[in-house]
Amino acid sequence: MSGLTAATRLAGVIGWPVAHSLSPAMHNAEMRRLGLDWAYVAWAVRPERLEAAVRGLAALGVAGVNVTVPHKQAVMALMDEVSPEARLVGAVNTVRFDDGRMTGHNTDAAGWMADVARDVDLRGKAVFLLGAGGAARAVAVGACQAGARELVIGARRMHAAEEVAEAVQPAFPHTRVLFTALADAASLPLLEGCEVVVNATPVGMQHSPGIPVPADWLLPDQFVYDTIYAPAETALLAAARERGCQTRNGLGMLARQGAAALEIWTGSQPDPASMEETLVRLTSLPR
């Protein structure tokens, strides 16, 4: 990359593997657009080297990093401080280094919330959430923060759904948080009672094809969001569109969690729309 100087500030992403990450191209484009003398790189960090890598980045004066699979939970224990939101989500996806001090944040919940707010005001709505992993817990926190009246967490393992419900319910007494096993017959009426359906399972990605709930469970007036962004239209979103539902994929969530991280490191005001445009360009290239 041209234009690097001794004053250039550095940020990046750590994960294992990380070569597929869209974040470097997205962040570097936005740093350039904002006129910042910053650069963003990807570091492949083996799980057993996580602590050495994070302490090394802090010692080198790196401004901050995004943290992705498989480090989002393990990195929490290394932080000097963890934001209340990251504690609720149970994961850190953004670290800011200040003179060696490490603060862990989570911008996935805010990123999802900002993205979904483009289509629907969640205040007073009921949300059916598919999945009980890391992304699901961020969406669960986002839905409650956005004022959902009810949140139903549906997972193939009831116990996993219950764990997410137990983690978020105490912080949000105004949202009724329920959980269900997707194979359970009681899940259908619960889903039919929701205005918003969100997929936070990998079902629908190229390596995990399929649909996380039967297409005929969807109702035409529901808003259906898929956190997956590659492919741009999953089997769930295609089925929902055919049934007349409004739909959106997870590309805007990726852009908005990135924008929030960039703001945490730089104090600048990134433009999520231009970050999303970069992602649209990248994901439409043949891969």
Task: Work out how close the CB of 201 gets to ligand NAP at its nearest, in angstroms, rounded to a whole number.
Answer: 3
- Contact residues toward ligand NAP (CB under 6 A) are 108, 131-136, 155-157, 160, 200-203, 205, 212, 227-229, 250, 253-254, 257
Between residues 57 and 228, which has the closer beta carbon with respect to ligand NAP? 228
* Position of minimal CB gap to ligand NAP: 133
Query: CA-CA distance, 139 to 155, in Å (whole number)?
Result: 14
Residue nearer to ligand NAP on the CB measure, 54 or 140: 140
* Nearest of 111, 103, 97 to residue 81 by alpha carbon: 103
Asked about 72 being catalytic, the answer comes back as yes
Residue 24's CB is within 10 A of a number of other CB atoms, namely 18
CB of residue 111 to ligand NAP, shortest distance in Å = 6
Hey, how many other C-beta atoms are within 10 angstroms of the C-beta on 149? Answer: 15
Nearest residue (CB) to ligand NAP, 125 versus 137: 137
Residue length of the chain: 287
* CB nearer to ligand NAP: pick between 133 and 147: 133
- Residue of 27, 71, 72, 248 marked catalytic: 72
Q: Closest approach of Cβ 152 to ligand NAP, in Å?
A: 14
Minimum CB–partner distance for residue 91 and ligand NAP (Å): 9
Residue 100 in tokens: 């060696």
Number of H helices, E strands in the chain: 10, 12
CB atoms within 10 A of CB 80: 12
* Full strand arrangement of the beta sheet holding 196-199: 176-181, 150-155, 126-130, 196-199, 223-226, 246-248
Active site residues per annotation: 72
